[in-house]
Amino acid sequence: MPASDREARRHDEPRSIDQRTPAERDRDRILYSSALRRLVGVTQVVDPAEGHAFHNRLLHTFKVAQIGRRLAQKLLKEQPEEARALGEVDPEVVEAAALAHDLGHPPFGHIAERELDELLRKQGDMEGFEGNAQSFRILTKLAFVAKQHPGLNLTRATLNATLKYPWRRQTAGKGQHKWGAYYSERPELEWARQNGPRGETRCVEAELMDWADDITYAVHDLEDFYRAVWFR
C-alpha cells in the first residue's frame, strides 16, 4: 500500500506543524483517550480484590504494546526482505494497534461479553455484542479528538492494524465466532481495508499485534493464576 494511502485519514484535518509522524499521532491519540483509561477497571483473569497486584486490562494492554513494538523492530532488523514482501511494517502502527486492541472489552471479561451478546440478540439485535467490533466502533465513532468528526480519525494503516477479524458477523465464515466490525461501521471497515490484503487476510501489522497479545497473556495469566493460588 502506498505511503499516502497508509497515512490517509477518513476526515480531513487542518495542516499542522506537528513534528510527529502520522502513526505517532495515532499512538498518542489512543494513549490519551478516556477509552484506554477505562481499562484500569476491567479485569484480565483474576479479580484484584483477591489480594495481589494482578494484571488488569490496562496493564495487559501496555505490555502487548511493548511486545508488539519489539516484534516489529525485530522483524525489520533481522528479516527486512521478508518484511517488505509481507507489506509495510511500522513499529509505531503496531504499538498503536496494540494500545487499541481491548478498548471494547467489557468489565468481567469474556463471560460478560457472551452475556451481552445473548441479551442483545434476545432483544432482536442479531449482531449482538463483540469486544473487537466494539473496539472498532470506539475508534471510529465513540471516542473523541475533535468536534468536526466522530472517533479518533486514525490513519488507514492503524485502523487496518487493529482488525484482528477484518469482517462483520454477517460475512463471517463457517466456524468463525469472532468478528471485527458491526454493520453500522461497514463504511469505516471498507475504508480501512482499501488497498490492503484481500478477503479475510489480516495485514502483517495486525498479525504482529495479535502475536503480541497471545505472548503477553500466555505469560501473565499463568503468573496471576499462580499468585491467586488457583494451582500449585
Domain CATH code at residue 67 = 1.10.3210.10
- Whether 1 is covered by a domain: the verdict is no
* CB neighbours of residue 12 within 10 Å: 10
Instruction: Give the structural domain span for 178.
Output: 21-42+52-227
- Whether 8 is covered by a domain: the verdict is no
77-136 pLDDT per residue, tens: 999 999 999 989 999 999 999 999 999 988 777 788 888 888 998 888 888 899 999 999
**Low-confidence residues of the chain: pLDDT under 70:** 1-3, 42-55, 173-175, 220-222, 224-232
The total of structural domains in the chain comes to 1
User: Against a cut of 0.85, is the pTM above it?
Assistant: yes
- Whether 28 is covered by a domain: the verdict is yes
pLDDT of residue 108: 75
pLDDT of residue 206: 98
Name, in order, each residue with C-beta under 8 angstroms of 141's C-beta and a sequence gap of 6 or more: 150, 151, 184, 185, 188
- Whether 155 is covered by a domain: the verdict is yes
What is the spatial distance between Cα 160 and Cα 122, in angstroms, rounded to a whole number? 31
Report, in angstroms and rounded to the nearest whole number, the Rg of the chain calculated over CA atoms: 18
pLDDT of residue 111: 80
Exposed (0-12), middle (13-18) or buried (19+): which is 231, by Cβ within 10 Å?
exposed
- Whether 222 is covered by a domain: the verdict is yes
pLDDT of residue 59: 87
pLDDT of residue 4: 73
- Whether 165 is covered by a domain: the verdict is yes
What is the spatial distance between Cα 165 and Cα 15, in angstroms, rounded to a whole number? 33
- CA atoms 30, 35, 41, 42: torsion sign: negative
- Whether 6 is covered by a domain: the verdict is no
pLDDT of residue 33: 96
pLDDT of residue 217: 81
- Whether 135 is covered by a domain: the verdict is yes
